[in-house]
C-alpha cells in the first residue's frame, strides 16, 4: 500500500486510472471502515482510502481537538487487509492551503433537518470536503456507510445535482454482537455506558416492531421511543420516523400503505453523542 500526504503525490499514483473506488474516512479505523474497503474492492480498481479529520464539519463546542487520530495503527490495519492501493493522509494545510471561502451548501430541506438542525453547518463541511476529495481522487465509485444515513443522502444528491461521474454505493451498518453500531466515538464510552449503548438500537427496533404491527400514529411512536431512552438517562436530540427517499415525514396513509421508512436517532449518553438508524 502506498501512503501519500500531498495531492500531487496522490495524482501521480492515480494517473491514468479510470476505475478507482474510493472510501473517505476520518481515521481511527474499525471493522465498519474495513468492510467499506472490501466492498470498494468488488466495484473498482484500484481502491483508494483517505484519512482526514475535517475541521469544517465540527462545531465550535464539538470534539475536533480530541477526535482520535491513530494514523500508524490505521496504516497497519489497511496493510493487513490488502485491499487498498493508496492511502491519502493529508494534513490540514494540504487540504485547505487558504481559507475555504467556497463551500457546498446542501438544500435546507435535506441538510438543515435532523442532524443538520442540531449541528448547524455540519453538512456544509461534509459536502465541501467530499467535493474536494472527489476532485483529488476522481473515482468512478465511492463507498459510504448507512450508519450516517443523512450524510449518504446529502452526498448522493450533491453528485446528482453537480452531475459528478461518481457512483455512490451504500454499505449496511456494521454492528457489534450486542447491536451497537460501530463508531470511532464508541471509545469515549465508559464501561457502564458501553453496556447501556445498545439500547439506542433497541429503541429503533421497537419503532420498527410497532410499524410492522400496523400502528401508524407518528407522534405517539416517536414520542414513546424517545421517552423510553430518556427514562434510562439518555438525552435525545431526535428520534424521527421518515420516508427513506427524501427524509420527509410520512403521512398516516403512507405508513399504513407500506411506504419505505427509516427511523433515525441521535442521543447523548453521558458526554458521548451516538447516532443510529434502521430502515423499515
Residues involved in catalysis: 33
Beta bridge partners of 136: none
Does the bond joining 46 to the residue before it have cis omega, within 30 degrees of 0?
yes
* C-alpha pair distances (Å), 243 with each of 20, 80, 266: 32, 39, 17
CA 261 to chain centre: 18
d(CA 54, CA 58) in angstroms, rounded, equals: 7
d(CA 135, CA 137) in angstroms, rounded, equals: 6
* C-alpha pair distances (Å), 109 with each of 106, 113, 246, 249, 250: 8, 6, 9, 11, 15
Amino acid at each position: 500500500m502506498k501512503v501519500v500526504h500531498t495531492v500531487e503525490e496522490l495524482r501521480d499514483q492515480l494517473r491514468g486510472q479510470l476505475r478507482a473506488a474510493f472510501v473517505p474516512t476520518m481515521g481511527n479505523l474499525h471493522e465498519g471502515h474495513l468492510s467499506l474497503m472490501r466492498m470498494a474492492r468488488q466495484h473498482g480498481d484500484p481502491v483508494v482510502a483517505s484519512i482526514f479529520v475535517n475541521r469544517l464539519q465540527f462545531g465550535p463546542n464539538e470534539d475536533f481537538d480530541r477526535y482520535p487520530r491513530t494514523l500508524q495503527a490505521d496504516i497497519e490495519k489497511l496493510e493487513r487487509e490488502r485491499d487498498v492501493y493508496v492511502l491519502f493522509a493529508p494534513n490540514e494545510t494540504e487540504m485547505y492551503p487558504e481559507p475555504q471561502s467556497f463551500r457546498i451548501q446542501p438544500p435546507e430541506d435535506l441538510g438543515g433537518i435532523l442532524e443538520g438542525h442540531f449541528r448547524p453547518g455540519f453538512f456544509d463541511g461534509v459536502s465541501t470536503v467530499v467535493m474536494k476529495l472527489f476532485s483529488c481522487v476522481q473515482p468512478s465509485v465511492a463507498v459510504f456507510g448507512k450508519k450516517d444515513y443523512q450524510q449518504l443522502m446529502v452526498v448522493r444528491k450533491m453528485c446528482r445535482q453537480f452531475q459528478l461521474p461518481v457512483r455512490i454505493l451504500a454499505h449496511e451498518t456494521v454492528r457489534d454482537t450486542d447491536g451497537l453500531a460501530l463508531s470511532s466515538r464508541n471509545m469515549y464510552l465508559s464501561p457502564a455506558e458501553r453496556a447501556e449503548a445498545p439500547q439506542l438500537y433497541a429503541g429503533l427496533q421497537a419503532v420498527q416492531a410497532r410499524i410492522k404491527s400496523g400502528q401508524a400514529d407518528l407522534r405517539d411512536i416517536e414520542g414513546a421511543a424517545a421517552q423510553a431512552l430518556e427514562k434510562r438517562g439518555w438525552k435525545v436530540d431526535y428520534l424521527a420516523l421518515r420516508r427513506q427517499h427524501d427524509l420527509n415525514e410520512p403521512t398516516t396513509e403512507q405508513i399504513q400503505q407500506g411506504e419505505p421508512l427509516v427511523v433515525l436517532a441521535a442521543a447523548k449518553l453521558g458526554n458521548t453523542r451516538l447516532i443510529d438508524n434502521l430502515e423499515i
